[in-house]
Structure 1
Amino acid sequence: MTPDLFGAAPPGLTYLPGFALAEEAALIAAALDVAAAAPLRVMSTPGGRKMSAAMTNCGAAGWVSDARGYRYERHDPLTGRLWPEMPKLFVKLAQAAAAEAGFAGFSPDVCLINRYEPGAKMALHQDRDEADFSAPIVSVSLGLPAVFLWGGAKRTDKPARLTLHSGDVVAWGGTTRLNFHGVAPLRPGRHALLGAVRLNLTFRRAL
C-alpha cells in the first residue's frame, strides 16, 4: 500500500490545506440547502452496480448515472425540476481556489455534492463527461477526513494517498485533467458540524 503523503501534494495536483475552513459552516449550510431542494440519492452504474456515496447537484446541469450511461442533465430526473442554482458562495470559493492553483478565469457551471458515510468510497475514475477539458476540477472537503487517491493517466498507475481534512481543497487541470482519482473507504469518526459524514463539493465546467 502506498503511504499517506502527510500534507505533501503529489505531482500534478494542487493541495490547498484549510483553504475553505473559514467558510466551513456556511458551505455546509448551503450544501444542505441544495440537498433539501434536490434530494441526495444513491445512483447506479450503467452496469447496475449501486454506488456507495449518495449525491446531488447544483448549477446549470447535474451529473447522473443509470442504465443509459454517465452524463449531464439540465433537469433533476428525481424531481423533474431544474437543479438548484449554484450558491454564490460556491462560485466565489471555486474561482478563488482555481486561481490559487494557477487556473485563473475558471467559471464553474456545475457542482457535484457527494455524501460519504463510513465505509463509502469512490473507485478510481476519470472525470471525462464534461464538454470542456481545458477547465480545471476543484474539489472541496467538508466533514470527516478522507484519503484522496491520486493516480496517473492509466487506471493501472499506482495512486498516491493524500489525507484531506474539512476545509481542504485540491485542484487539477491541464496535462493532468484526466488523471485517475478516487476516495478510499471512509473511516468512522465524528465531525462537530456534520457528525459521521463527509461532504465533497466538486466544481467543473461541464457544458
Structure 2
Amino acid sequence: MQAGVNRGTVIAGIAIGAAFVYFAISIAVLPSAYIPSLAPPKPAPIVTDVSILPSNATQIGNSFALRVNATNQGDHADRQMVSIAFPNLTRTDGVVAVLKSNFKQSPTFIKAGKEIGSGYAGTEQIIKSQYASVEVFSSPWQKGESFSITLSVKPTQEGRFVFLVKAIGFPHNGDQAHWPRGGTLDHQSEYVSVYSVNVIKA
C-alpha cells in the first residue's frame, strides 16, 4: 500500500514539475520567439529614379516623358503608393497621360477639389486637393520589389513646370514608411521631392 502511495506521489510530482516547466517556457521563451512575427511590418519605400526626357527644357505644345521608379527596402507593405503631383495644374485632362506602368493597380487621376487623405493618416484626415496629381499603387508590395510608371506630359504655359514626387508605405508606422523623409511639405502635409522642367516658347 505504501509503495502505491509513493508511486502516486512521484507521478504527481512529475506532472506538477512538467506543468511548471511548460508554463515557465510559455512565459519566458515562447513570447520572445513569436514577437517578431506578431510585430507589424515596417515598409520602407524609396524612389530610386526620376527621369525626364528631355532633361532640361521643352517647347510649349511638345510633350516630355516622365518616368518614376520606386522600391520597397523594408518589410512587405500591405499597400504602397507613388504620387506625382502637378501644382501648375488643376486637372490632368489633355496634359498628362500614362505611357506605361507595371504597378499592380491602375493609376488614379486626381483633380483639384477632390477629397483626399492627409498627414499619412489616409481617410482619417480628409482635405480637398489643391492641384492635380496621379497616384498609383501596388497591393501588396513585397520587400525588394520595384515598380515604375512613365507619363507623357504636355505643358501648355511658358515657364517653370513643377511636379512633386513621393512614396508612402502602409501600414505607415514611422518615418521609414514614407519617402522623402524630410524637406518640402505638400498640400497633404506630406513630404515630397520637387522637380521642374523649363518650358519655352516654340
Alignment TM-score, normalising by the size of structure 1: 0.31
Q: Which structure shows the higher strand fraction?
A: 2
Greater gyration radius: 2
Q: Which structure shows the higher helix fraction?
A: 2
Alignment TM-score, normalising by the size of structure 2: 0.32
